[in-house]
Structure formats: C-alpha cells, structure tokens
Amino acid sequence: SVTLKKHRVQVFRAVVCKTTSPLKTMSDSDIPYLPSHWSKRLDPTKIVDAHFKLLREQSELVIERLKPEIVQYGQSDSNELVYYWFTPSDSGGNAKSPLFVFIHGGYWQTPELTARMCCHMADTFVNNGLHFASLGYDCVPAVSIEDTVRLVETGLRACLERARSDGLSGVYVAGHSAGGHLAVTAGACVHWPGELAGLIKGVLPISGVFDLMPLVKTSVNHPLGMNTARAAALSPMRGLQQQLLASPVRAPILAIVGALESPEFTRQSRELCDLLRRHGRQADVNIVPERDHFDIIELLADPADPLSQRILAFIRSGGVIDSADDS
C-alpha cells in the first residue's frame, strides 16, 4: 500500500540519515553503515532527499531525450522487474559494443529508489558508443532479501541473453551500495552457463557491502530481519565465498569507493579484492578522491568526471586492471 511504502521510506531515511523515526534508537554499531553521517557536503538529515531529487530530475530529462526501451523481465505488483535499455547514440560501428548494466542501491529496502532514477548516467555510456541498462528489482518488505538476490539474477540473465542475441561484445555489471553487493552476487557468484559467463567482462561494485554480518546488529537490519546464518549465507565473503571462487565468470573485479565514505566501505572493498587476489583472480580497489557515498554516482552523469573516465577506460581495455587502481 501507499501507506506502507511511505513507512518504508521513512525507515530507510532513519537508517541512512540518523533522524528521528520509527527506529527509536541508534547504536555505535550503526555509525559505520550510515552513509549520510560521513558526508560533509550537506546536513545528514537533508542529503538523502537531495540525492533522490537530483537523480530523479536528471533521469527524467535523460529518459525524455533518449527514450529508452523499458523491458519487463518478470511479473510484480511493483512494476519494478524491468530494465531501461539505452542504445549507443552513434550506432554506426557500435551496434555490437559492450553493455554496462547498473544496479541501484537502497540497503535492499527502499522502494523510492528505482531503476528509473538511475538513468541519469546513461549519457556517459551511450555517448561513448556503449549500451546502457538500468536494472530494477523488488525489495524488502515486498520480498525477502534472498528473493531480491534471485530477482537481480533473473534480471541480469535477461540482459545477458539479450546481449548474446544482439551479438554484443561484452557485459560489465556494476552496482552501488547494496547494488554493489547485488552486482557481485549476480555477476560473479552465479554459475552462469559458459556462453553467458564468457560475456561478463568485468564487475564494478561501487561502495559495496560484501560481508553482511556486521549489519545484523545495526538498525539497517531492522527491516531486513537477518540473523547471523542468513547474513553469512548472503555474503560473498562468507557463505557465497566458494561460489565466488568457483564461478565460471573469471572477469576482473574493480571495487570502487569514495575517499570521503565510512572506512568500513573501504575495508570491505579491500578485503574482497584481497580474497580474490589470493586465489589468483584479478581484482583491485579504486579509491576516488573527494567523493562521498552519494556524489560518487551522481557525478557519473558527467562523462568528464574522473570516475566516469576510469570506468570507460576499464571497459575500453576489455577489463584490464592497471597500476592506477589499488590506491
């Protein structure tokens, strides 16, 4: 219902903004996972609303101008089981160019944050000869977090199968925050069939969370209801570790995090990449100067932004990790 959705948004803002809300108490364990607490640009009580407003307004302008194809990949009352598909602005010679798939965040529990709101960055990719897809999914409380993971896998499969059918040269799977977790679970932990696995050329979690165990005792978990067993089972660093290491997807993982974020996001990205490198996989961390948890994706709308340029270079190289990473 509309009332329930409004309540969920209020709960989410309480978690990331540390404001008065249905969540009555905040503990010290919450602080590392409150992105707005670490941003210096705006008051913590205002930054999420400002972030949503910017994404929504920019995305609507991009959608109106570029008119993406909106493709349904599943049935849901939310109408969120869709992806927004943008083709390169210069199709001549780029019809088979790679696809960049983006998965939004929201701590697996934010109906207000949608795939439509993350079309703001499409210009950066289509104007550089790439396909772009913003992938939606259902979240808690409409479904469980485990269901969310499965839905993203289904949506990514639809994108991969379309990329194969269209003869695209590769797929790069990215996501922000909880979407970074979903990009790794769907893009690097699933035992995709050989041809689909080979299409994935890179995975780019941005400000991701890969060990969900520390969240169990935080307010983030109040809506999710995870116990330690569920949190471990959902974590690429724990219960999904063997699937991650045994996956036929051998694509490099470039973990991206803002220098102005909580150190916990940096730690989790470093530990994921350390694990992968110990097992012979290509993985590195890219720390982006002067970026917090919010503007790190807001500025992907600008093709000249340093992170936009780094991601484009990663794609053009076919997913090569270089010495500029692991900073």
CA 230 to each of CA 91, 149, 227, 234, 264: distance values in angstroms, whole numbers, following the listed order: 45, 13, 5, 6, 21
* Residue 26 pLDDT class (50, 70, 90 cuts): low
Average pLDDT over the chain reads: 90
Q: Is position 5 within any domain? A: no
Residue 23's pLDDT is what? 40
Q: Is position 324 within any domain? A: no
Q: Which amino acid makes up residue 159?
A: C
Q: Is position 20 within any domain? A: no
> How far apart are the C-alpha atoms of 53 and 59, rounded to whole Å?
10
Residue 324's pLDDT is what? 53
Task: Give residue-wise pLDDT tens across range 239-277.
Answer: 999 999 999 999 999 999 999 999 999 999 999 999 999
> How far apart are the C-alpha atoms of 273 and 284, rounded to whole Å?
6
Mean pLDDT of 280-293: 97
Task: Give residue-wise pLDDT tens across range 195-222.
Answer: 999 999 999 999 999 999 999 999 999 9
Residue 179's pLDDT is what? 98
Give the chain's radius of gyration (CA, Å).
18
Q: Is position 106 within any domain? A: yes
* Among the ranges given (9-23, 84-98, 147-161, 250-264), the one the predictor scored with the smallest mean pLDDT: 9-23
CA 195 to each of CA 6, 151, 165, 223, 249: distance values in angstroms, whole numbers, following the listed order: 42, 21, 11, 38, 10
Q: Is the pLDDT reported for residue 142 higher than 90?
A: yes
Q: Is position 21 within any domain? A: no
Q: Is the pLDDT reported for residue 18 higher than 90?
A: no
3-state SS of 66-85?
HCCEEEECCCCCCCCCEEEE
What residues form DSSP beta bridges with 85? Answer: 69, 133
| Helix, strand, or coil (residue 212) | coil
> How far apart are the C-alpha atoms of 36 and 44, rounded to whole Å?
5
Mean pLDDT of 80-108: 88
* DSSP codes joined into one string, 162-186: HHHHHT-S-EEEEEETHHHHHHHHH
Q: Is the pLDDT reported for residue 122 higher than 90?
A: yes
Domain count, the chain: 1
Burial label, 191 (beta-carbon count in 10 A; 0-12, 13-18, 19+): exposed
> How far apart are the C-alpha atoms of 174 and 134, rounded to whole Å?
10
Q: In CATH, what number is assigned to the domain containing residue 140?
A: 3.40.50.1820
Q: Is position 180 within any domain? A: yes
> How far apart are the C-alpha atoms of 52 and 174, rounded to whole Å?
19
Residue 4's pLDDT is what? 42
- Look up the domain containing 75 and give its range: 28-317
Q: Is position 15 within any domain? A: no
* Residue 327 pLDDT class (50, 70, 90 cuts): low
> How far apart are the C-alpha atoms of 261 and 201, rounded to whole Å?
27
List the one residue out of 98, 251, 109 whose CA is nearest residue 189: 251
What residues form DSSP beta bridges with 131? Answer: 99
